[in-house]
Chain A
Amino acid sequence: MARYGMLINTKKCIGCYACRVACQRQNDLLPTQDFIRYEEHETGTYPNVAIETVPLQCMHCEDAPCAAVCPTGAAYIGADGIVGVDEGRCIGCKYCMAACPYQVRVHNEKTGTVDKCRFCTVSAETSGTKMCSCVEACLTGARIFGDLDDPASDISKEIAATNAQPIAGDLTKSKVFYVR
C-alpha cells in the first residue's frame, strides 16, 4: 500500500496563501478553520537577513501524538497511514490540539469538534477526482504529493534531490517534507 506524503518547497513559496483558500473551499470549511498555518521565520544575521514563509499543516505522523492522547479514539491513524478524525466520536476536549507539536489542529466553532488537514488530495491521485487542493492551487508548484515508498515517484525523487527533511526531524516521524 502506498505511503502518502507531501513535499513543500519553501524556497518556491511566495506566501500568497492560495493553498489555504483552496483548502477551505475544497473542504467546505468555516472562515475560522485554517488547516494550513503560516509561520514567518527570520534567517541570517543582519545585514544579510531573509524572511522565509513556512506553511504548516497536519504532518500525518506515523507516531501521531494526537491519536495517542485522544481519549475517545476520534483521532486515528488509518490503514493508509493518513491521520484522520472521526467527527462522530469527537467530544471536543482539545487534548489532541495540546499534544500536536506543530499546532495545526483546529477547533470547529459550530460543531465543537476538532479537525485538520485530511490529505484530501489523495483522491485526486488515486481516483482522478477533479479538485483544487493545496497542491493543485499552488501557483509556483511548491507542493508535490505522492507515494513516499515508491522510489520512482516524483516526490521521492525530489526529496532525494533536494535533501528535504521533516520540519522537526524525527520528532514524530512526519510524512510532510520541507525544502528550505
Chain B
Amino acid sequence: MSFEPIWGAIIAWYLFLAGLGGGAFITSAFLGWRHPEAVSMRKVGHLIAPIAVIVGLVLLMFDAEGGLHNPLRFALLLTNFGSVMTWGVVFLGGFTVVALVVVVLDFLKKSVPVWLDIVGVVFAVCVGAYTGALLGVCKTFPLWNNALLPILFLVSAVSAGAASVLLVAVIRHADEFNRVGVLKKFHFCLPIIELVLVAALMFITSSNSVAGWNSVMSLLVGSYAPLFWIGLVLIGLVLPTALETWLLFFSPKEFEESRKAHWISFGSDAGVLVGGFLLRFLVVMAALPVTITVPML
C-alpha cells in the first residue's frame, strides 16, 4: 500500500531555514570569539539569522491552514508544554527576539554584549536540536523515532549556518574570508561528522523494524536514491569535504588566498546548503509508518 507523506517540502524548507538561522548566529558568535577582526562577516551572520528563521516561520504558518484562516489560534500554541512543538515555539520566539535585538545593535554601531551572544547561542542550539526532536517523538516513523536525529539536525544546522556566512563573505568580504582559518577548519569537520551520523542512522533504522528497513531502502536503492546519493552524499557531504581538504591542507597558501580558490570554496559551501536542505527533505519524505508497511496488523 502506498503512503502519502504527511508533511512535505514546505516543512523541509522550514526545518532547514530554522537550523540555518541558528547556525548563522552560532557562526557569528564564534567569529566574535576567535576572529574578532572579522567584523563584517559577523554582521552578515547576524543578518542571516533572523531573516532565515522568519522566512521559515512564515512558511510554517502557510502550511498550518487551520491557523492561517484563524490567526488568533496561533496564540494557543503555548498551551501544551508536553508537546515538542510548544517548546519549539518558545525557542524560536526567544531566538528571533535576541537575533533582532542584535541586528538593531549592529545598525546602531553598538557592540553586542557577550551575555547576549551567549543567550542567543543557547537559543540557537535549542532551535537546531528541537527540529530533530520534533520529528523524533513520533513513534509512528522509525526513521524519525531515534535519538540521533536531533544531533544530526544540529550538526547540519551549524554547518549550513557557517556555509551561508562564508558564501556571502566570498562575494562581499574576500579580505576577511582569508583570515578566518579557525572557523574554516571547524566548518570543514562538520560534514564529516554528518556523514558518520547519516551512516549510523541508516544502519540502526534499517535494523529496528520492517518499516525502518523499508524507509532506509527507499533512500539507498529506492525512489529517493538519486537525491540521496547524488544530492545529499555526493554534493552535500563528500564534495565539500574533498574540496576543503585540498584547499585547507594540500594547496599552497598563495593559491588558497587567490580568487580562484575563493570560488571553489563558494562551490563547496553551496554544496553544504544543498545537502542541508536535502537532508531534511529526505528524512521528512522517506519515513514510512509502522502500521502500514508492517502490520503489527
Contacts and interface: CB of A to CB of B under 8 A. Distances in A.
Interface string A81-120: 0000001111111110111111100000001111000000
Interface core residue of B63, B70, B84, B141 (most chain A CB under 10 Å)? B70
Contacts of B137: 69, 99
Interface string B256-297: 000000000000000000000000000000000111100111
Interface core residue of A88, A91, A168, A171 (most chain B CB under 10 Å)? A91
Contact of B89 (A71, A73, A89, A112): A71
A167 interface: yes
Contact of B77 (A71, A92, A103, A111): A71
22 contacts: A40-B1, A41-B295, A65-B139, A69-B83, A69-B85, A71-B77, A71-B79, A71-B86, A72-B79, A90-B66, A90-B73, A91-B67, A92-B68, A93-B60, A93-B67, A93-B85, A95-B85, A99-B137, A101-B291, A103-B291, A112-B65, A113-B66
A10 to B, nearest CB: 10
Nearest to A99: B138
A112 B140 CA distance: 22
Contacts of B80: 70-73
Interface of A: 39-41, 54, 56, 65, 68-74, 87-95, 97-103, 111-114, 167-169, 171
Nearest to A95: B85
A65 B139 CA distance: 9
A108 to B, nearest CB: 8
B10 to A, nearest CB: 11
B67 A97 contact: no
B296 A167 contact: yes
Interface in B114-137: 134-135, 137
A168 B295 CA distance: 8
Contact of B297 (A89, A113, A167): A167
B296 A95 contact: no
A122 to B, nearest CB: 25
Given A65-B140, A71-B83, A113-B66, 13 more contacts: A39-B295, A40-B1, A56-B291, A69-B85, A70-B80, A87-B66, A89-B73, A90-B66, A99-B137, A99-B140, A100-B140, A103-B140, A111-B69
